[in-house]
Structure 1
Amino acid sequence: MMSGLKAGFTLDSRLDSDTEPLMWLGLCELRVMNDRRWPWVVLVPQRPGIEEIHDLTPLDQAMLTFESNMVAHALKRSTGCTKINTGALGNVVRQLHFHVVARNEGDAGWPGPVWGHGVREPYRRDDLHRFAESVRKAL
């Protein structure tokens, strides 16, 4: 497992159970949300004790912006979606993590948010790997 390799950083257990590691960026670990209803990835800044974007240093804030934009562009290219949703809510999992979700009109829950809609539908293992590889290639 990739989590916990940065000094003092431990991934929240809920993020660990709901997502699968994809790759390291600069500041963040990129993880795939294990819900096949939406192409959805999560960036987790590898900084201990951080809950809010404004808790990051200015340099880390700039890195998060750069990495999230890079990932959003890659997700849009790899899925052909019509809209990218992004956000850092933290109401359930306080550890700072940044969602990037590919959306299309008519998808499950459109036009509402993905959070709290229905029951998560985990990927089949080979489908998860296929999706992860498409994002990796687009990056």
Structure 2
Amino acid sequence: MNPVGATPCELCAGDGGALVWRNAELRVIQAAEPEFPAFYRVVWNAHVAEMSDLDPGQQARLMAAVLAVEQVLREALAPTKINLASLGNMVPHLHWHVIARDRADSRWPAPVWASAERPVEPALAAVWAVRQPELARRIRERLDP
């Protein structure tokens, strides 16, 4: 949990998105990003800010979950690229962004946080959005074999 007197942490207060999978150490959520329906986060449950706050075994388990989400997105969607990021500038609670990208998305080739280069391609977002239940199932299967 956050230190006493600190600004409340949104990732301590709630899941941070649509919960896909959770264990005692971490969780996978689908972010509420309508333009990017294949935008996931792997969140460490305890309030720590950096990867080096974890011991080597915890680091390995966290990265295994990040890679599992990446593999599911690659296999299911065949995106142009997967973006991985662990920033924590806005929310200093350890989490990794795993984002399937396509050349047709509104911000390609810039990061998803950049200004849009063109209008959203509704067909791409719709096709990926309709696959969310399947993606969630495949992520759970990958993390709980």
CA distance, structure 2, for counterparts of residue 69 and residue 14 of structure 1:
21
CA distance, structure 2, for counterparts of residue 98 and residue 57 of structure 1:
17
| 1:137 aligned residue | 137
Which runs of 5 or more structure 2 residues have no equivalent in the other structure?
3-7, 121-126, 140-145
Question: Which residue identity is paired with 2:39?
Answer: W
SS in 2 for 1:50: coil
SS in 2 for 1:42: strand
| 1:61 aligned residue | 59
Question: Which residue identity is paired with 2:138?
Answer: A
| 1:3 aligned residue | none
**TM-score if structure 1 supplies the norm length?**
0.74
SS in 2 for 1:67: helix
| 1:28 aligned residue | 26
Asked whether 1:96 is paired with 2:87, we answer no
Q: 1:113 to 1:21 in 2, by over 3 A?
A: same
CA distance, structure 2, for counterparts of residue 65 and residue 35 of structure 1:
23
CA distance, structure 1, for counterparts of residue 29 and residue 136 of structure 2:
11
Which runs of 5 or more structure 1 residues have no equivalent in the other structure?
1-7, 122-126
CA distance, structure 2, for counterparts of residue 111 and residue 60 of structure 1:
32
Percent identity of paired positions between Structure 1 and Structure 2: 24
Q: Which structure has the larger Rg over C-alpha atoms?
A: 2
CA distance, structure 2, for counterparts of residue 60 and residue 98 of structure 1:
14
CA deviation after TM superposition for structure 1 residue 86, in Å: 0.4
Q: Give the stretch that moved more between structures: 19-28 or 95-104.
A: 19-28
**TM-score if structure 2 supplies the norm length?**
0.71
| 1:12 aligned residue | 9
CA deviation after TM superposition for structure 1 residue 117, in Å: 3.5
| 2:5 aligned residue | none
Specify which structure has the bigger relative contact order, considering alpha-carbon pairs within 8 angstroms and separated by 6 or more residues: 1
| 1:40 aligned residue | 39
